[in-house]
Amino acid sequence: MKVYKTNEIKNVALLGSKGSGKTTLAEAMLYECGVIKRRGAVEAGTTASDYFPVEKEYGSSVFSTVMYAEFNGKKINFIDCPGADDFVGNAITALNVTDTGVIVINGQYGVEVGTQNIFRTCNKVEKPVIFALNQLDGEKADFDNVIEQMKEIFGPRVIPIQYPLTCGAGFNAMIDVLLMKKYSWGPDGGVPKIEDIPADQMDKAMEMHHALVEMAAENDEGLMEKFFETDQLSEDELREGIRKGLVDRSIYPVFCVSAAKDMGVRRMMEFLGNVVPFVEEMPAPVTTEGVEVKPDSNGPVSIFMFKTTVEPHIGEVNYFKVMSGTLKTGMDLDNVSRGSKERIAQIYCVCGQIRTQIDELCAGDIGATVKLKDVRTGNTLDEKGCNYVFDFIKYPSPKYQRAVRPVTESDSEKLMQILTRMHEEDPTWIIEQSKELKQTILSGQGEFHLRTLKWRVENNDKLQIVFEEPRIPYRETITKAARADYRHKKQSGGAGQFGEVHLIIEPYTEGMPAPDTFRFGNQEYKMSVRDTQEMPLAWGGKLVVCNCIVGGAIDARFIPAIVKGLMDRMEQGPLTGSYARDVRVCIYDGKMHPVDSNEISFRLAGRNAFSEAFRNANPKVLEPVYDVEVFVPADVMGDVMSDLQGRRAIIMGMNSENGFEKISAKVPLKEMSSYSTALSSITGGRSSFTMKFASYELVPGDVQEKLLKEYLESQKED
């Protein structure tokens, strides 16, 4: 296989909603370029992309698939991404290592919520967008209506390159207003018949051609001047204007295809090869230290590992992009992310399951390797003397959680190994062994996302697992000051145990003045602070301990033991066993015994005094509250609002965004447990949402009462 130079390489991500036909389009692209001899079908499980067992089981993409095509002397790397919103991590990864997004739209259904989500992601990472209007041979296809919808949602920069002469079952011809030619196909598609535009279509074609020329000219001053003088541009000038518009994201070309019948695919490939920006024409990526790294084949070798898969009989396959230099077989590289060394023994160009071994890859190219010792997704490997580190892929926060455990308890370690491996394959699967909740928490982008993982664990790894409702990480705090004392005394022959602690607790807020005087009933307690310890807590908030002991009532050497006792109770709050936070403790008196006092005595005395005071300090339970944004079609907005309010949501605002309504709300985490499933059910899968931790807030009184009762019952059972 030829070694392609940086100025001969283009990288494209195939994106779009589930069912838009991306995988079928990828199959047609491979067929047109001669990579495969026969086109497979999604329904039959014979496509080059969807080759994993779970994808064949579900009949849709679960992983992104790296592929390439050699076309007209250029190499086009493209990554076919899953359409389901649950697998958005794959699309985000692909967009970050490619240079152009081709968003496939189902011509029968138009712009769907998934289409908008993907377009929004393209905006965030500032990548050019091309639209492929697919399935124009479907009976419900309506080109004019979809174009109008696209312009309304994505703006006036949407510009058709082609339009069909007819949609539906009769689709077999279109007018290309860039080349000003008519393309038509026989029943089996493939190579088109190219003719002059019929007279009855010339006026419409000229009008659309003029709009395209005008939009292309706007991207270059020289082209604009020529356009004003002559009212036209040559074909090469038109391509140059469109290329610059793509880089600036000021033009969104629309192509017409029927991927299933292989109509219009070759023409779109020509556009990708001739017009889409090369790797070197796009803004250069930046290292973690802010260094801009241009794709220079003569520069130092640096590769970024963006994807890992585990395949039978092979093991780990690591996919990478050459960020700089020319990678050659046998090179030794430093894994600067992990401090280890790796030898690149084999380099492959990959097309799904098809791997072609090659000797080298130039900057900007995408490839794969195997049998690396210690490489993880997101690592950077550099040649000696180069210190580039890349970390430019940012994944969305998880939206769905479940506690996971094996059916057989002895399989816990095996399960963790499997989950860790799966996180490497999809970083949006997040695994946490929660000491607080005493559960292994699995987080993802939705119910389908986690259900896919469960299928793979049970069918591929033959390990039966159970999903359970995750416990909620509540917090406990106090709302007023309270006093308590406790004497720990134990005598059992020989040396005994003795420790007595008097303390006052109060709510802590940042910057509050040092304690001075407390009054409980008719008694006043004056505080003389000798020293203060501020302890930030790993779970949020603080524990502040003021040593107010006077006259040596408790020896200073026992204070750390008392603090340990306090921390015991902060880690397991008296109300629900949850973490406590934001408490200030003043230790002001106590007693000790010259023989029997020891650290354990004062630790127990401090713990029990704290528990008693905490219960008397009007304690409250706090719950995690999340900022939630829901994108919904206007016709189901009322139903979605009602559902949110039933989840104790506080609606913060509503506004329209690109043809959809956006609802902003604050919602307790407890109420978000199965929200992705409920939202999909209410809206027929036409909505999406994001959620991000906001703060801890007091739970309502009835909820607190229920939590306390449940905790007491669980303690009795234990």
Give the pLDDT band (50/70/90) at residue 449.
Answer: very high
pLDDT value at residue 59:
80
Residue 327: which of 280, 383, 370, 380 has the closest Cα?
Answer: 383
Residue 389: which of 293, 296, 288, 321 has the closest Cα?
Answer: 288
Is residue 596's pLDDT more than 70?
Answer: yes
Query: What is the distance between the alpha carbons of residues 167 and 174, in angstroms, rounded to a whole number?
Result: 10
Residue type (1 letter), 199: A
pLDDT 10s digits, 42-79 = 877 888 888 788 888 888 888 899 999 998 899 999 99
How much is the pTM? 0.83
DSSP 236-283: HHHHHHHHHHHHHT--EEEEE-BTTTTBSHHHHHHHHHHTSPPGGGSP
Domains and their CATH numbers in the chain: 6-281 (3.40.50.300), 302-382 (2.40.30.10), 400-471 (3.30.70.870), 476-618 (3.30.230.10), 621-703 (3.30.70.240)
Mean pLDDT, to the nearest integer, of 259-276? 93
pLDDT, the chain, mean: 92
Is residue 333's pLDDT more than 70?
Answer: yes
Is residue 502's pLDDT more than 70?
Answer: yes
Mean pLDDT, to the nearest integer, of 191-198? 94
Residue 677: which of 689, 660, 691, 665 has the closest Cα?
Answer: 689
Query: What is the distance between the alpha carbons of residues 488 and 592, in angstroms, rounded to a whole number?
Result: 10
Mean pLDDT, to the nearest integer, of 615-629? 95
633 exposed, middle or buried (CB, 10 Å; 0-12, 13-18, 19+)? middle
Is residue 716's pLDDT more than 80?
Answer: no
Handedness of CA 429, 433, 438, 439 (dihedral sign): positive
Residue type (1 letter), 297: S
Is residue 659's pLDDT more than 60?
Answer: yes
Polymer length in residues for the chain: 718
Is residue 441 within 8 Å of 470, Cβ to Cβ?
A: yes
DSSP state of 388: -
pLDDT value at residue 548:
95
